[in-house]
Every structure is written in C-alpha cells, then in structure tokens.
Amino acid sequence: MNTKDLPGFATKAIHAGEEPDFRSGATGDVVVPIHLSTTFAREKVGLPTAGYEYTRSLNPTRKALESKLAALENADHGLAFSSGLAAETVLLTALLKSGDHIVAFDDLYGGSKRLFNNIFNKYDIRVTFVDASDASLVEKAITPQTRLIWIESPSNPLLKICDIAAISRISAAQGLILVVDNTFLSPYFQKPLGLGADIVVHSSTKYIGGHSDVLGGALLLNHSGYYEKLQYHQNAIGAVLSPFDSYLTLRGVKTLALRMEQHQKNALDIAKYLLKHPRIKRVIYPGLDNHPQHALAKAQASGYGGVLSFEINGNQSDAEVFLEKLRVFALAESLGGVESLVELPAVMTHSSVPPEIREQVGISDTLIRVSVGIEDVDDLIADLKQALA
Ligand SMILES: *Cc1c(COP(=O)(O)O)cnc(C)c1O
C-alpha cells in the first residue's frame, strides 16, 4: 500500500513515508528505525546497493520524514533541514544569484528578515518589504531584477492574512517563484501549493514537531527542476536534519491533526473570553468575526490556528506584571508546542525592530502574543483571569 496518495490527512500523517518493509530480510517495523549510520556499505564499487552512500546526502530516517511532510502538503518533493532558517538559507542560495531581488512581506518572521537583510545582502541580494496583505503592493514592488516573492500567512504577531491565490497569479504572470512560509497554520489547515505557491517553507520546530523538543525545517514543492537544485544545495551546504531529530519530528507529526484541532478550539475560547474582559483593549485572532480579513482567512484555509494576540489596557509595566503572574502559560518565545506560551513582542521576539517601526505597524508595548497549547481550556482561562485581576 502506498499511503502517500490516500486522501485523509491524519492517515497520511501516521503512515506516509513509514510503510512497513516486507522485502526479504526486512523486519516490518511499523515505525521507521533511527538509522544512525553516517555511511552505507555497498556490495559493488559502482553503485550504492540500497541507494544510500553518506548521511548528509541521504539518510533513510530523514527520507521517511521528507516523504511524510511532502505527502501532508500534497507535494511531490520534500527536504528536511536542521532548522527553519537552514531550510531558508538553502532555498535562497539554490535559487538566487547576486543581483537578484526579492519582494517580501513586511510582517515576516524576524529571523527571515535578518537572514535577508544581514546575510544575503552581503551577496548583493536585495529585498523590498511591503504590506503583502494588500496584493497590489506586491505587484507594484516587482522590478526587472525580481526573482522571488516571499510571504507568510497569517503573520506574526499581528495575524494579517495574505491572499495567496491572488499573489500567486501576480507571481506566475511575471515568471517569479512564490514562497509561502506555512509554519503558523501547518499543512493541516492550509495548503499553499494548492493555492498556486511554488515552494512551502516550514519551521518544523513549531506545530509539525509540536512538543518544543526538536528544531527543524522543511521545503516542500512540486517543481522537479527546483527540487534538484535544492537537493544539490542541501548536500553541498550540509545543514541537514539529524536521524534522531528526524525521528522526533516523525513522532510528533503523527498527532498533528488532533493537536491543531485542539489548539484552535482553545484559541477561539480564549479569544472570546478576552474579548469580553474589561482590561483588554483589543484581541487579534483570524477566527473572530471582527478580524478585518476573517472572510479571506476562512476562504483560503480550513482553520485559523492556535496563535492570537491581544493588547491590555495600561502601559508596558502593566503588561509585564500580568505576564509574570501567569502560572500555566510559560513566558517564552516560540510557538506551536503542546504547552501554552506567552510573550511580549516589543521586548522579546520583536525587540530588534526599531520602536517607531513597531508603532507604525501596530506592535505596541502592551501587545501580547499567545501560542495557545492543548491543556484544558478551563485551566488556561482561570490562569488568565487571576493574572488579569
Ligand atoms: C520559527 C520560525 C522560523 C524559523 O525557524 P527555526 O526552526 O527557528 O530556524 C521561520 N518562520 C516562522 C514563521 C517561524 O515561526
């Protein structure tokens, strides 16, 4: 049975890439083994006997994960890396050259911006950041040197939505490569390739791994020519996911469907609770009717995810007091794990953004981002209640 083509998401998450091996001598493991070997012996000089030579190039445990993640994004090809940023580095080095230009969302993950601005600028790759939640601004920023468009939806921490299909039409009309960072919704809720994206990027550190215990990144795509270049650069650069971390990610992703449902359910309950609380100034969650792009969020994805942001009345020190009073929510960066996390972007994840830019885009000193976990929601709400009091 080849489970990769079955329609059910949860079935693929469990079985794809891990079909038991019944060939003679194989053991029929239902879980792919952790192949720690860095090198693979061959019977004859000419060809590697089972297709494997050296783990940086190809490893059976990593390959199982790459196949599973490809199946989940309905992609023909998948590649796994030691972090989300390692995946992004390989993408940029494989598909761009000096003098090329990128149009990117101005509300992109901070580490991606740092990679563009402080690393790839040294190789004369230039970026124009625009508010890609307005697709016409993306089109206006394209120059004859533009090769690639890079977006993320929903964004972080403001949860703005990009119209992926509209941007993909602009991208295709100009022969560009559209990259979508799908970390926030995971393939369970959103499949950018089906909306016209060329390459999906993931930080599997977040929802895919899901347990805050393994870093990783992935690229998923259909285009065979790009895949060959990416695979070549994956091996040449060497930032591959280790066999053990591949195993942890394989283990984590099996419950992605269940986890995403619960993250979303808890996030919606918390958003509704905060909306009614007198100490809360505003709540940002794409699943709420009052989100300015609720209709678009609903149309292009099958869910709204587990991240929400809100502003409390008062000043930054009121926000800090509130955060330090929480007991169930951990005060920490990152997102997508089973445990609930809160953070203050102005001081933590987005502290490198200059204050005037933060104010301009709407990241105030009292804006709090929550990665809602899958604990009992009554405990989470009770914790918020006592800290707000
Ligand atoms: C965390 C994150 C990244 C970077 O991934 P790492 O695994 O931390 O390198 C990229 N994009 C988004 C949206 C992220 O949240």
Spatial contact of 195 and 168, defined as CB atoms under 8 Å apart: yes
Same domain? 104 vs 172: yes
**Distance (Å, whole) CA 84 – CA 299:** 27
Catalytic residue among 12, 62, 109, 304: 109
CATH of the domain at 218: 3.40.640.10
Alpha-carbon separation of residue 117 from 124, 223, 353, 361 (angstroms): 10, 27, 12, 19
> Which spans in the chain are helix H?
9-15, 60-72, 84-95, 110-114, 135-141, 164-173, 186-189, 224-237, 243-253, 256-276, 294-300, 316-325, 355-361, 377-388
Q: Give the strands of the sheet with 217-221, arranged side by side.
A: 77-81, 217-221, 199-203, 177-181, 146-152, 101-105, 126-130
Distance 109 CA to ligand 1 centre (A): 7
Distance 103 CA to ligand 1 centre (A): 19
Same domain? 313 vs 179: no
Active site residue 56: yes
User: Above 70 in pLDDT, residue 4?
Assistant: no
Please tell me the predicted confidence (pLDDT) of residue 3.
66
**Distance (Å, whole) CA 334 – CA 259:** 17
Host domain of residue 104: 7-253
Same domain? 50 vs 196: yes
**Distance (Å, whole) CA 323 – CA 26:** 53
The verdict on the CB of residue 371 being under 6 Å from ligand 1 is no
**Distance (Å, whole) CA 354 – CA 255:** 39
Same domain? 135 vs 236: yes
Same domain? 269 vs 366: yes
Examine residue 81 and state whether it is found in any structural domain, yes or no: yes
Examine residue 1 and state whether it is found in any structural domain, yes or no: no
Spatial contact of 326 and 383, defined as CB atoms under 8 Å apart: yes
Please tell me the predicted confidence (pLDDT) of residue 219.
99
pLDDT in tens, 8-58: 999 999 999 998 888 878 888 999 999 999 999 999 888 888 899 999 999
CATH of the domain at 314: 3.90.1150.10
Same domain? 347 vs 332: yes
Q: Look up the pTM and report it.
A: 0.96
Examine residue 2 and state whether it is found in any structural domain, yes or no: no
Domain count, the chain: 2
Same domain? 109 vs 240: yes
Active site residue 188: no
Closest atom, ligand 1, to C-alpha of 112? 10
The verdict on the CB of residue 83 being under 6 Å from ligand 1 is yes
Same domain? 229 vs 261: no
Question: In degrees rounded to 5, what are phi and psi of residue 76?
Answer: -80, -30
Alpha-carbon Rg for the chain, nearest whole angstrom, is 21
pLDDT in tens, 183-222: 999 999 999 999 999 999 999 999 999 999 999 999 999 9
User: Above 80 in pLDDT, residue 124?
Assistant: yes
**Distance (Å, whole) CA 60 – CA 76:** 18
Same domain? 248 vs 382: no
Same domain? 190 vs 65: yes
The verdict on the CB of residue 191 being under 6 Å from ligand 1 is no
Examine residue 136 and state whether it is found in any structural domain, yes or no: yes
Examine residue 187 and state whether it is found in any structural domain, yes or no: yes
Mean of the pLDDT values across residues 145-154? 98
Please tell me the predicted confidence (pLDDT) of residue 99.
98
Chain mean pLDDT for the chain: 95
